[in-house]
Amino acid sequence: MNKTIGIFGGGQLGRMMAQAALPLNIQCTFFEASADCPSAALGTVYSSAAEHGLQNFIQSADVFSLEFENTPLADVDVLTQSKALHPPRQALAIAQNRLQEKALFDALQIPVAPYKAVDSLDSLQAAVAELGLPIVLKTATGGYDGKGQFVLRSADQIDQAWAELGPAGSLIAESFVTFSREVSIIAVRGQNGDVKTWPLAENHHHHGILSHSIVPAPNSIDLQPVAQDYITRLLNHLNYVGVLTLELFVTEKGLYANEMAPRVHNSGHWSIEGAVCSQFENHVRAVAGLPLGSTEVVRPTVMVNIIGQHPKSEDVLALNGAHLHLYNKTEREGRKIGHITLMPNDSRELTSLCRQLAKILPNPLALSEDMSI
């Protein structure tokens, strides 16, 4: 196999996709504004700012994928005139618009929180009256890691919420869901329609940014088949090829879908060491038309993001069962610059590792000292 995969974006997801591709003798190229992006060490970067950058990128590879759901549809439309893109354009377009995404969930009978479209102050007031408070007001397009959102808890915040988000254009108001935890299901679909899923991850956030994921999610035996059913409906309906992620809330009424990501996902980084075949390798296999690999868990795993500042590598690597992944990114507050995978033998060892890791990280996250696996 001597294919080349072109990837829209050159961040850490593209970097890890390219790392997974190399053992398969598959090369990657990237379409990215920054020449020194995290993926630059793994393949040629074609500048999105250059006059003929897109055309040169299109000529550089046999088949294409992406690492960022905000990839411009205009670029995709130029590409697909002559080359194949996995995942399909339809999945990308839907994921870029929360209203379209919710409509798709409704059509496939995947439960979601009650919601209303908002395009004016009057319609926001009407949404508050119909949905009740609190609600989460979000931009319909753009926004990630908690950006583009406003939690509206009282009627006297309506004007403020509209002033902050109204200029962004189309909005969506969602009823605030009371949930016990957030989980995500990641699955991959091959070009032949074969579908494989990884176990649910339990996700924890700190200031709106994913801090760590536990896999398999504790107490998820009954949730796993439901989540698999939901994501399989999406994959087959969209005739999807590649990795898809579905974020879900665990509520008293069952699982509610939050959003989908048409790409490899932060909550799946654990799979590099923790699964027989990682999300990155299986995505590459799917895009290249190869058979999919096993998604079975090698050992229960915890993935911890490195955010803002780097720890000392030697301190992390001194921890038993720890694997360090750095993204060649400069330090900046709130920026994901690497991750650490912990592979303990049992819950007692996990507790010890988390305590040790909390002391090592420059910006300790909300690592629980009594997590169970």
Q: Which residue ranges are tagged as binding site for ATP? A: 98, 138, 143-149, 174-177, 182, 205, 258-259
Q: Nearest CA to 38 among 69, 8, 15?
A: 15
CA distance 186 to 179: 20
Q: Name the residue type at position 113.
A: A
Length of the chain: 373
Structural Rg of the chain based on CA atoms: 21
Two tokens at 311? 């720890």
Classify strands 4-8 and 63-66 as parallel, antiparallel or unpaired.
parallel
CA distance 320 to 297: 19
CA distance 342 to 336: 17
CA distance 6 to 62: 7
CA distance 269 to 13: 9
CA distance 341 to 206: 18
Q: Name every residue whose Cβ is closer than 8 Å to that of residue 9 and which is 6 or more positions away in sequence.
A: 30, 31, 32, 39, 66, 67, 68, 71
Q: Name every residue whose Cβ is closer than 8 Å to that of residue 326 and which is 6 or more positions away in sequence.
A: 306, 310, 313, 337, 338
DSSP H or E stretch at residue 258: strand 254-261
Q: Where do we find the tokens 């490195």?
A: 306
First vs last C-alpha separation in the chain: 38
Q: Helices marked H in 240-337 — which ranges?
A: 271-274, 279-288, 313-317
Two tokens at 32? 């990215």
CA distance 190 to 284: 10
Binding-site residues, in ranges, read: 98, 138, 143-149, 174-177, 182, 205, 258-259
